[in-house]
Structure 1
Amino acid sequence: MTITPEPTVRHFADAMTGSSQGPVVTSPERPQRQAEPSGGTADDVYVEPGLTPLGAREANRFAVADLLRSVGVSFFAVRGTSDHGTVLAVAEGDREAVLGVLFRGMGQYPGHLSVIDAQAVVPAGPLSSRNPKAWRGVRTAAAVQVSWYRTDAGRHLVMGHEYGCAVEFWNWRGTHLVAPRANRVTWAVSGEGRNVLGAARLFSRFVSDHTSQHEAPSLPTRPEFLVSCAEDIAFPVDAAYTWVDGNDPAWQERKAAAKGEVYHAESASDARFISRDELRYSVRSLHMFAPWIRNVYIVTDDQVPAWLREDVPGVRVVSHREIFRNASDLPTFNSHSIESQLHHIEGLSEHFLYFNDDMFIGRPVTPHAFFTPSGKARYFPSRNRIPQGPVVDTDTPVDAACKNNRMLLRERFGRVITQPMEHIPYALRRSAMEEAERDFPQAWARTAASRFRAMTDLSTTSSFGLYYAALTGRAQPATMPFTYLQLAVPDLADRLQRLLDGRNQDSFCLNDAFSTPEDIEAQQELLDGFLNAYFPVPSPYER
């Protein structure tokens, strides 16, 4: 087999192969208990600054690839069935050389190893490479998976064996190399073929063509793996936020003027407008757990978060003035109004996720969680029901908007919507939003012109746009592991701790609809600790 050299990136594998550069990681240290991954131990965990799941995955692959090169073993990347790990194929005839170099490398820098039996009903769990039992069966295994567990400097995260690199042993059959287990594309490749470079997104749905080459470089593979599969998502996906700094005196003065009230400077410190800094951590959640996002747009009333770098590609602050078609609708202090204009963001992709700043991605997810490969958006109906009957004075603004949505959609499509949406990032189609605005110009304009929430509003992003897309064939219902946590609960500390310990939700929302000024200070201390522990790694967009 012949390989094409891939880009050189320094990781701690350099130390194992004798590089004078030295390791990037520090000595193994035991992280906090809640960070320990299932199926392994914390005996050999390496501290790595800037840790992300994608970074751990790539570091493990680099380490294994460097070891294979150090003994002249040729390999190619396989489109495996796991989105989190990687797979490298070697010829069966190189098994002894591969096992030898892995044994030596993991002797110097202990990690974890699991033996893969393609016929096993239950996969074998990882064992420390220090444990002789870890090496049993490696001479006949279909593959072995190798990893070095990593933790952040604060010991809040552990990226474990699921981010490891598997080495498969492919057998010669005539002129072809045959896989020892199934992958996403083929059982065999030509043994006479040469390696080519394949885009990183071919080897994990966790990355996209918009993930940087530094984070996820192209890999040497075989031409057979370069095909576009039916389940691939190749279209770009952006993220959009609405955000306001309620502590800003200039914003509060505009708000008071719009309400016809006298502005008092001391009101700027009103506890109900304290910024909890959720946006910073929500953006961190994208950086850590959704690196396939192309661009992040933050829509504001000419405000810029103090922590945000605007000189970094991939993020842009968008003023309300850029997206509102009717300038006389501004200023507005109504989220329904602002959301009705999001699809006017210049450069926004056809497929995008809309986040409130209290929504977070909770663990690595693929774009398939929000869109189908054919481009349909997924929406997540709530277990709640929209109240029956027309809008009445006792309705909340949320219920009133849902009723208005229902009335218009029933008139247009003859269908009745019964459920609001869960507080999960809203997967939207820009074309559906544009079309809905054209179909309902009066209701849309009325919502845009409402400076404060009104009983005539539509909830265009959290319900109307999703159902409109569904009724025109561009969206479908789905489910997702998620948590909605209302902050004004007496056992908030326990609930946050369970969420942190579990880390088993694709998304979560920390909503603050009912807190009193007296609640906020105690809540903030809990939230600061929770958010820093859950998302300890700054995004590239932070100062």
Structure 2
Amino acid sequence: MTMRTAWRRLRHLESLAVRTVSRDIAKRRMRRSDTALDRTATAVTTRFDAPLPYRVRELPARSVELSSPRDHALKLLERVRTVLQNNDVPRAEARVSTAAPNTIALRAHDWVAAANLLSREIQTLLIGIGGITAGASEFVRQPSVQALEGAAVLHLLDPAVTLHAGRVISRYGFESAVRLERWDPTEEGRYTAAIWNPRTELLAPEAFRIVLDVNAEPTASSTAAEDAAAALQQTALLDVDFPIDVVYTWVDGTDPVWLARKRDALETDAGERMTEDAAADLRFVAHDELRHSLRSLEQYAPWVRHVYLVTDRQRPAWLREDHPRLTIVDHKDIAPAGTRLPSFNSQAIEANLHRIEGLSEHFLYFNDDVFLSSPVTPDLFFNPNGIASMYMSRAHVGPGAPVQGEPASDSAGKNARALVREATGRRVSRKLFHAPFALRRSVSYEIEERWPDVVAATRDAQFRRIDDVTLSGALHMNYAFATGRAVTRGIRYRYANVGAHDAAARLSGLERDRDVLQTFCLNESTHEIDPVTLDHQVRSFLHRRFPDTSSFEIPGA
């Protein structure tokens, strides 16, 4: 080792030590600040998830009815608007169409007074200073004038929990914050952002006005203000402004009625009665994946418009029947007339997803073993111009034609390769990650029109065949790419085989890297541990990782 190399390593270790000490000091300072917050008699001291390096922060929280983090944030936003409105404090707001944060712009000479008003009139409000994000801010009940004057951004937080039978079942923390931005006057009589704003750097004085409903249609009297605030009110070129729905397919594989239907279909298909041992092999044991996947969706993708759950005459016992943003769709409601039902072939069911009534043109397809791991924005899945994203694996599609006995995904990949080559003359070589699929209804309808016999044959296959295609998977994504409606991009993703002997370590890694990953998949591709251990490990992990009951659930169910 040369002296130069040794010196570089020494400097690296020194830098690492300094960063570690700085993080520890910051964590201790934040812990002291959180502990110093006043706690009312009814407040529940609660641990909220926070970004690195804090991970967890303890704050006093009030008790509220079960809702989503997005709805809790919107309620706080309305309370903030009302206080400003009632006290004649002008403001400017960006029109929020998808994942943009709830942000209110205030003039510098209203800044301190507005913060004092809000802290006085919203009793449970915490005001955060000094952080780019809410989770990294230091919260107080009443900031000092000096602290307010030095802040370019304030994060307003109303920490809350939902209780059931005396136990916390859901938390509403930093993801439900409202953001205030300070705008300073310029010599030309306009206002400039005290911190970089992605939409504009200057606003005319008329942009700041007293209005309760920022999304209301403009009137003649508000034209001048609308023109002045156009940079905030008009949809930016790089914003995703179209609706995005999510579709899940789900089955309760332990339902005796469903198992009887599957057994009858298999016996009819085979032309002979099955033995009891063979019938037992039909059972599909889930580990409560759907419940926790929905929790991850509500927590990390609040911009999703609607969720459709596609099932075969089933409904999870814990699922609410009256949720305004969730619809149960039966197989028979989306299968064309004459299709062989019931179907136990996931690829046949997926061939009908684009036929869901009311489904948005752009939608995401989730298997229930796919989860989000950290906050994501719509442009991870769709570009603002509508082009979809696809996430390539390093694994290759196998050579040759499909063969009996290989995994269904391998056969489907080969079939997709053949059809795409027929259409474009180009060869599909790589598989896709088992992540959310960003799909377009128009692409699925086009594939159906181009290869009607292939799609119809897949739909009619009650059980998987090697000739099936994936209209909501490999065929769709590769055809969309070949025809200019999808592009490749990266996604921070991990696949965990929960049936492997080292599954516990893999699950621990997912917890450790939760802020790094954007999505992950839990799949039982091998059977190296006993089923009881596997079920316990997966359920325990999911409960630890996603403990907050979603608004889709019946509390306590």
1:341-420 alignment runs, 5 A limit: 341-393=352-404, 395-420=406-431
Equivalent residue in structure 2 for 1:242, among 249, 254, 260? 249
Query: What is the CA–CA distance in structure 1 between the aligned matches of 2:256 and 2:331, rounded to whole Å?
Result: 18
Over 3 Å counting, the alpha-carbon distance change for 1:435 and 1:66 in structure 2 is: closer
1:320-339 alignment runs, 5 A limit: 320-339=331-350
How far has the Cα of 1:172 moved from its partner?
A: 5.2
Higher helix proportion:
2
Residue 47 (structure 2) aligns with: 31
Q: Does the CA-based 8 Å contact 2:351-2:455 persist in structure 1?
A: yes
How far has the Cα of 1:333 moved from its partner?
A: 1.2
Equivalent residue in structure 2 for 1:459, among 447, 452, 470? 470
Residue 90 (structure 2) aligns with: 74
Over 3 Å counting, the alpha-carbon distance change for 1:94 and 1:300 in structure 2 is: closer
Between 1:397-406 and 1:36-45, the stretch displaced more is 36-45
Residue 129 (structure 2) aligns with: 114
Check if 1:514 corresponds to 2:526: yes
Q: Name the amino acid aligned to 2:497.
A: Q
Q: Does the CA-based 8 Å contact 2:50-2:136 persist in structure 1?
A: no
Residue 452 (structure 2) aligns with: 441
How far has the Cα of 1:341 moved from its partner?
A: 1.8
Residue 188 (structure 1) aligns with: 202
Query: What is the CA–CA distance in structure 2 between the aligned matches of 1:178 and 1:157, rounded to whole Å?
Result: 36
Q: Does the CA-based 8 Å contact 1:240-1:296 persist in structure 2?
A: yes
Q: Does the CA-based 8 Å contact 1:25-1:46 persist in structure 2?
A: no
**TM score, norm. by length of structure 2:** 0.76
Query: What is the CA–CA distance in structure 2 between the aligned matches of 1:515 and 1:47, rounded to whole Å?
Result: 45
Over 3 Å counting, the alpha-carbon distance change for 1:48 and 1:472 in structure 2 is: farther
Check if 1:166 corresponds to 2:166: no
Residue 149 (structure 2) aligns with: 139
Query: What is the CA–CA distance in structure 2 between the aligned matches of 1:25 and 1:434, rounded to whole Å?
Result: 59
Q: Does the CA-based 8 Å contact 1:177-1:189 persist in structure 2?
A: yes
Q: Name the amino acid aligned to 1:512.
A: E
CA RMSD after TM alignment: 3.9
Listed as ranges, the gaps of 5+ residues in structure 1 are: 1-22, 201-218
1:121-136 alignment runs, 5 A limit: 126-129=137-140
Over 3 Å counting, the alpha-carbon distance change for 1:422 and 1:116 in structure 2 is: closer
Over 3 Å counting, the alpha-carbon distance change for 1:508 and 1:127 in structure 2 is: same
Structure 1 SS opposite 2:445: helix
Equivalent residue in structure 1 for 2:108, among 81, 92, 102? 92
Check if 1:537 corresponds to 2:548: yes
Query: What is the CA–CA distance in structure 2 between the aligned matches of 1:325 and 1:46, rounded to whole Å?
Result: 51
Q: Name the amino acid aligned to 1:506.
A: Q
Q: Name the amino acid aligned to 1:466.
A: M
Over 3 Å counting, the alpha-carbon distance change for 1:139 and 1:255 in structure 2 is: closer
Query: What is the CA–CA distance in structure 1 between the aligned matches of 2:320 and 2:176, rounded to whole Å?
Result: 33
How far has the Cα of 1:502 moved from its partner?
A: 3.7
How far has the Cα of 1:528 moved from its partner?
A: 2.6
Over 3 Å counting, the alpha-carbon distance change for 1:472 and 1:146 in structure 2 is: same
How far has the Cα of 1:446 moved from its partner?
A: 2.1
Q: Does the CA-based 8 Å contact 2:134-2:177 persist in structure 1?
A: no
Over 3 Å counting, the alpha-carbon distance change for 1:62 and 1:362 in structure 2 is: same
Q: Does the CA-based 8 Å contact 1:329-1:449 persist in structure 2?
A: yes
Query: What is the CA–CA distance in structure 2 between the aligned matches of 1:515 and 1:272, rounded to whole Å?
Result: 15
Q: Name the amino acid aligned to 2:519.
A: S
**TM score, norm. by length of structure 1:** 0.78
Structure 1 SS opposite 2:430: coil
How far has the Cα of 1:339 moved from its partner?
A: 1.1
Residue 539 (structure 2) aligns with: 528
Structure 1 SS opposite 2:320: coil
In the comparison of the two structures, how many residue pairs are matched?
A: 493
Between 1:486-495 and 1:428-437, the stretch displaced more is 486-495
Q: Does the CA-based 8 Å contact 1:249-1:265 persist in structure 2?
A: no
Over 3 Å counting, the alpha-carbon distance change for 1:322 and 1:60 in structure 2 is: closer
Q: Name the amino acid aligned to 1:230.
A: L
Query: What is the CA–CA distance in structure 2 between the aligned matches of 1:167 and 1:328, rounded to whole Å?
Result: 56
Residues 391-447 of structure 1, C-alpha deviations (whole Å, 9 max, x = no match): 334533221221111112112110101111111111111111111111112222222
Over 3 Å counting, the alpha-carbon distance change for 1:325 and 1:125 in structure 2 is: closer
Check if 1:503 corresponds to 2:518: no
Structure 2 SS opposite 1:360: strand
1:204-223 alignment runs, 5 A limit: 222-223=229-230
Check if 1:259 corresponds to 2:252: no
